């Protein structure tokens, strides 16, 4: 069994090599950073009839994370929480992880990555190309989520239709020229408007997949609840941006959250629900493979990374 597994993994890796080389050349400037990323860029889980695959688009270290994730905390508090959780306080490893849900009927990709070729490389590991994707869903319009919509100016997922939250699209669409994210959406998303449809809170993406409003990170940011064969898993997107700091202290302000207080309220509400129902989650910026569970700890929470659950 073990032998079969590793041989298959080796064959898959070998098959992906030519594409991986291509993808690397697209992002030559990030190759040094990518060298520190995990060797595997995909991980699949079974959830009822669904196959859920996390796809590592990129990973890089970022120095001085306290002003990003520790708004409102003292340096001493930030250092103490970091030490308690066995991570340094002066550097954070960032991860960017879109998720593919194969329902058996459709292949639905949640978010598209930075647009530097990583998503193509990760898809190749599971034997897919961007043309195999039926639906692309955008959880929100931040650059690390919509960047992969185009590659060198061309539509990346050219056979797909697109879905996103109406509130999110309307908000960024109303920004004047010169707004960084509004401008990027106009370049990456709006050109494909005829293939785009919109979701409200509770809206259905497909049978067993529904939108869960978690506004605050952006005005229309939404997570997605998967439900198949009596099993549930939530794609939380950017609800909590760091697996230690944002869980242990959901009230610490995160630089990337547009409405800090709404983001904190959403974070507490959803994490509390996931902890009390013991529902697994996949978070876009969690350490790869980005999946885990949530437990309540003190006045906050703890992210419990997945090990060998949901393997079969």
From CA 106, how far away is CA 137, in angstroms rounded? 12
Is 168 a binder of Zn ion (CB under 5 A)? no
Stretch that binds Zn ion, among 109-117, 134-142, 206-214, 258-266 (CB under 5 A): 134-142
57 lies in the binding site for Zn ion (CB under 5 A): no
Number of residues that bind Zn ion (CB under 5 A): 3
Residue 301, H or E segment: strand 300-305
- Closer to Zn ion by CB, 208 or 216: give it: 216
As measured in angstroms, the least distance from the Cβ of 97 to Zn ion is 10
Query: Looking at 57, 125, 168, 238, which residue binds Zn ion (CB under 5 A)?
Result: 238
144 binds Zn ion (CB under 5 A): yes
Q: Which is nearer to Zn ion, 43 or 142 (CB)?
A: 142
Minimum Å gap between C-beta 113 and Zn ion is 10
Give the shortest CB-261-to-Zn ion separation in angstroms: 19
Question: Is residue 257 a contact residue for Zn ion (CB under 5 A)?
Answer: no
Distance CA 59, CA 80 (A): 25
CB contact burial 12-34 (16+ within 10 A = b; e otherwise): eeeebeebbeebbebbeebeeeb
CB closer to Zn ion, 102 vs 257: 257
Cα separation values, 274 from 19, 140, 147, 224, 259, Å: 37, 21, 29, 13, 22
Minimum Å distance from CB 204 to Zn ion? Answer: 24
Distance in Å, CB of 53 to Zn ion, minimum: 19
- Contact between 94 and 285 (Cβ < 8 Å): yes
How far from 13 is each of 21, 26, 124, 169, 245, CA to CA, in Å?
12, 19, 9, 38, 34
Nearest to 96 by CA among 147, 135, 52, 51: 147
Specify the stretch interacting with Zn ion by CB under 5 A; choose among 21-29, 236-244, 287-295, 300-308: 236-244
Q: How far apart are CA 121 and CA 10, in angstroms?
A: 15
What are the residues binding Zn ion (CB under 5 A)?
A: 142, 144, 238
């Amino acid at each position: 069994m073990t032998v079969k597994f590793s041989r298959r993994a080796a064959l898959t890796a070998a098959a992906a090599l030519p594409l991986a080389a291509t993808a690397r050349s697209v992002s030559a400037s990030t190759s040094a950073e990518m060298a520190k990323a995990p060797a595997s860029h995909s991980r699949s889980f079974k959830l009822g009839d669904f196959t859920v695959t996390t796809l590592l688009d990129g990973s890089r270290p970022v120095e001085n994370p306290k002003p990003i994730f520790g708004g409102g905390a003292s340096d001493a508090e930030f250092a103490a929480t970091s030490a308690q959780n066995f991570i340094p306080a002066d550097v954070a490893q960032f991860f960017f992880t879109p998720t593919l849900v194969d329902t058996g009927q459709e292949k639905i990709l949640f978010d598209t990555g930075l647009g530097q070729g990583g998503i193509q490389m990760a898809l190749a590991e599971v034997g897919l190309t961007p043309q195999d994707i039926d639906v692309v869903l955008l959880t929100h319009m931040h650059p690390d989520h919509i960047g992969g919509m185009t590659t060198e100016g061309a539509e990346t997922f050219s056979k797909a239709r697109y879905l996103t939250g109406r509130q999110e699209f309307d908000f960024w669409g109303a920004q004047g020229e010169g707004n960084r994210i509004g401008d990027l959406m106009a370049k990456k998303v709006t050109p494909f408007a005829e293939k785009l449809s919109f979701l409200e809170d509770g809206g259905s993406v497909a049978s067993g997949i529904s939108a869960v409003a978690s506004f605050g990170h952006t005005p229309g940011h939404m997570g997605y609840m998967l439900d198949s064969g009596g099993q549930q898993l939530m794609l939380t997107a950017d609800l909590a941006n760091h697996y230690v700091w944002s869980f242990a202290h959901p009230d610490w302000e995160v630089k990337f959250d547009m409405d800090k207080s709404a983001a904190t309220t959403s974070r507490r509400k959803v994490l509390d629900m996931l902890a009390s129902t013991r529902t697994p989650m996949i978070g876009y910026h969690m350490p790869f493979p980005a999946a885990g569970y949530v437990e309540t700890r003190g006045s906050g929470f703890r992210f419990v990374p997945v090990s060998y659950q949901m393997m079969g």
